Amino acid sequence: MASLDRVKVLVLGDSGVGKSSLVHLLCQNQVLGNPSWTVGCSVDVRVHDYKEGTPEERTYYIELWDVGGSVGSASSVKSTRAVFYNSVNGIILVHDLTNKKSSQNLYRWSLEALSRDLVPTGVLVTNGDYDQEQFADNQIPLLVIGTKLDQIHETKRHEVLTRTAFLAEDFNAEEINLDCTNPRYLAAGSSNAVKISRFFDKVIEKRYFLKEGNQISGFPDRKRFVGGTLKSLHYD
């Protein structure tokens, strides 16, 4: 049997937001019992059926790369990390809904990862020094995942989910908010499972089926970073 084609998806976010727990849930369909500190980079694989239930259905490996570390790291640490940013087909940005700083840091994480991909000489983004042009044509599908939804009190949910909706909009991405310690949030057939599946389909489509320069469906707007945040460019 021919080996399966694969795509590489980065899983980025601050330490402790739940990346290992999320990846375990996505790849093993199980809650990670006892998460240990992720040292360096860890890679797990999810077997994904592209266009499931259609005549074009095909199985792919989704490699989920959890690079680890802190976004405020010294540049030497960042350049070490940069080797993992080559040939990335998609990015999952993970933040902890109980921790605003972890949401804000997603801008820096995405800049670090994307600039490495677009500037082969390895010029990395430093604090607050964002190159607005580098992101004008980002074609890498992004997904924003908020964790620890179970830790948000009912009375605060609306406020928190409004904030995350703006964040996802900034990245022109779909968003999912969940509790990584409860597999029901990704149960087969649930809206979250459908979103995840659509995201991986998009990553595969971009990698294997779309020619360079084609727009991906679901990413109609061009985006550009302005002063550290992504702003839409409107072409009226």
Ligand X SMILES: Nc1nc2c(ncn2[C@@H]2O[C@H](COP(=O)(O)OP(=O)(O)O)[C@@H](O)[C@H]2O)c(=O)[nH]1
Which stretches of the chain bind ligand X, using CB under 6 A?
15-21, 35, 38, 147-148, 150-151, 179-181
Q: Which part of the chain contacts Mg ion (CB under 5 A), choosing from 13-21, 172-180, 210-218, 227-235?
A: 13-21
Cβ distance to Mg ion smaller for residue 20 or 134:
20
CB of 36 to Mg ion, least distance (A): 8
Which residue of this chain has its Cβ atom nearest to ligand X in the complex?
18
Alpha-carbon dihedral of residues 161, 179, 9, 170, nearest 10 degrees? 10
Whether residue 50 contacts residue 58, with contact meaning beta carbons closer than 8 Å, is answered with yes
Q: How far is the CB of 136 from Mg ion (least distance, A)?
A: 32
Residue 181 interaction partner, one of Mg ion, ligand X, none, beta carbon < 5-8 Å per kind = ligand X
C-alpha to C-alpha distances, 17 to 14, 25, 34, 97, 164, nearest whole angstrom: 6, 14, 15, 9, 15
Q: How many CB atoms lie within 10 A of CB 6?
A: 15
* Binding segment (CB under 5 A) for Mg ion, from list 19-27, 87-95, 165-173, 193-201: 19-27
Q: How far apart are CA 68 and CA 12, in angstroms?
A: 7
The entry of ligand X, Mg ion, none that residue 147 binds, CB within 5 to 8 Å by partner kind = ligand X
Does residue 20 belong to the site contacting Mg ion (CB under 5 A)?
yes
Of 35 and 228, CB closest to ligand X? 35
8 A C-beta contact, residue 145 and residue 94: yes
- Tell me the closest approach of the beta carbon of residue 26 to ligand X, in angstroms: 12
Q: How far apart are CA 186 and CA 169, in angstroms?
A: 22
- The nearer residue to ligand X, 81 or 206, going by C-beta atoms, is 81
What strands, in cross-sheet order, belong to the sheet with 174-177?
42-50, 58-66, 6-12, 90-96, 142-147, 174-177
Whichever of 15 and 132 has its CB closer to Mg ion, that residue is: 15
N- to C-terminal Cα separation, the chain: 50
Residue 38 interacts with Mg ion (CB under 5 A): yes or no: yes
Residue 115 is which amino acid?
S
**Phi, psi for 101 (deg, rounded to 5):** -60, -40
Compute the least distance from the CB of residue 11 to ligand X, in Å.
8
Contact residues toward Mg ion (CB under 5 A) are 19-20, 38
